C-alpha cells in the first residue's frame, strides 16, 4: 500500500465514512468557497464542524509534505512544505476522539519523511519527535501505540535510519529500569 493509500485508509477508518465520495464532494465545495489557510486549521479543530473535516485538517497539519495529500489542499508554500514543527502542535489541542488518528499519522508520516531526500520534508521529523514525546507522557506504558511511536523517535533528530532507537528502551523496558543495548 502506498503512503497516500495508507493515509486515505486511516481517514476512512477513523471517521467511519460510509460515503467517502460525498465527503470528498463536500470538502472540495467547502475548499473552493473558503478562505481558510493552513494556519487557520487549528481553529477548525475547535469548531463545530463535521468530524471528517477535522480529520482532514489534522492530516494537513501533520503532513510531512503538503504536496502529497490524498485530497485537495491548495494552500501551501513551496518554501515550507509542512507545518508539523509549529509551536502550536500539542497533542492535547487535538480533539480527544481523533487523537488515535494523530498517533497513527505520526507513525506513518515519520516513515514517509525518512524515505524522502528533500531536507525540507525531513524537517518534519523534529515536530514528530515533539508529538511522540507528548504521546509517551499521556499513553499507558503497555499501549501498543506508545511502543510504535517510541520506535519511530529519532534520537538525534537528524532522521538518519542508522539512528533509529536501536539502543533505546521501549516504554515497558523503562519501567523495569533496563535499557536494551546500553550495556547496563
pTM of the model: 0.78
pLDDT of 91 reads 87
**List of long-range contacts for 109-114, beta carbons under 8 Å, 24+ apart:** 109/62, 109/63, 109/64, 109/84, 110/152, 110/154, 111/152, 112/3, 112/64, 112/65, 113/64, 113/65, 113/159, 114/159, 114/161
State whether residue 80 is helix, strand or coil: strand
Q: Which of 80-84, 126-130, 164-168 is predicted with the least confidence, judged by mean pLDDT?
A: 164-168
Question: What's the grid cell of residue 63?
Answer: 503532513
Regarding predicted confidence, which is higher, 48 or 164? 48
Partnered with residue 80 across adjacent β-strands are 77
Average pLDDT, the chain: 78
* Segment 45-74 mean pLDDT: 88
Cα–Cα distance list, 178 to 81, 82, 170, 175, 182 (Å): 39, 36, 9, 8, 8
Neighbours of 30 (CB within 10 A): 14
How confident is residue 146, by pLDDT bands cut at 50, 70 and 90? Answer: very high
* Runs of H (alpha helix) within the chain: 3-15, 20-33, 41-45, 51-62, 99-114, 119-122, 124-138, 144-152, 171-176
pLDDT of 110 reads 95
How confident is residue 19, by pLDDT bands cut at 50, 70 and 90? Answer: low
* Segment 125-136 mean pLDDT: 92
How confident is residue 81, by pLDDT bands cut at 50, 70 and 90? Answer: low
* Segment 144-148 mean pLDDT: 96
Beta-carbon contacts of 125 under 8 Å, excluding residues fewer than 6 positions away, are 110, 113, 114, 154, 157, 158, 159
Percent of the chain with pLDDT over 70: 76
pLDDT of 78 reads 54
How confident is residue 129, by pLDDT bands cut at 50, 70 and 90? Answer: very high
* Segment 97-114 mean pLDDT: 93
Amino acid at each position: 500500500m502506498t503512503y497516500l493509500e495508507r493515509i486515505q485508509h486511516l481517514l476512512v477508518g477513523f471517521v467511519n465514512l460510509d460515503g467517502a465520495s460525498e465527503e470528498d464532494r463536500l470538502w472540495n465545495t467547502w475548499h473552493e468557497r473558503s478562505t481558510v489557510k493552513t494556519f487557520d486549521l487549528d481553529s477548525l479543530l475547535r469548531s463545530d464542524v463535521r468530524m471528517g473535516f477535522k480529520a482532514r485538517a489534522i492530516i494537513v497539519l501533520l503532513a510531512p509534505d503538503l504536496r502529497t495529500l490524498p485530497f485537495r489542499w491548495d494552500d501551501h508554500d513551496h518554501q515550507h512544505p509542512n507545518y508539523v514543527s509549529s509551536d502550536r502542535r500539542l497533542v492535547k489541542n487535538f480533539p480527544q476522539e481523533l487523537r488515535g488518528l494523530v498517533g497513527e499519522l505520526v507513525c506513518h508520516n515519520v516513515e514517509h519523511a525518512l524515505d524522502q531526500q528533500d531536507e525540507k520534508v525531513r524537517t518534519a521529523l523534529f515536530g514528530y519527535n515533539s508529538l511522540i514525546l507528548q504521546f509517551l507522557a499521556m499513553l499507558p506504558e503497555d499501549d501498543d501505540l506508545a511502543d510504535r511511536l517510541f520506535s519511530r523517535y529519532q534520537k538525534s533528530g537528524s532522521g538518519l535510519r542508522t539512528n533509529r532507537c536501536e539502543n533505546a528502551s521501549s516504554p515497558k523496558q523503562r519501567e523495569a529500569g533496563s535499557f536494551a543495548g546500553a550495556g547496563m
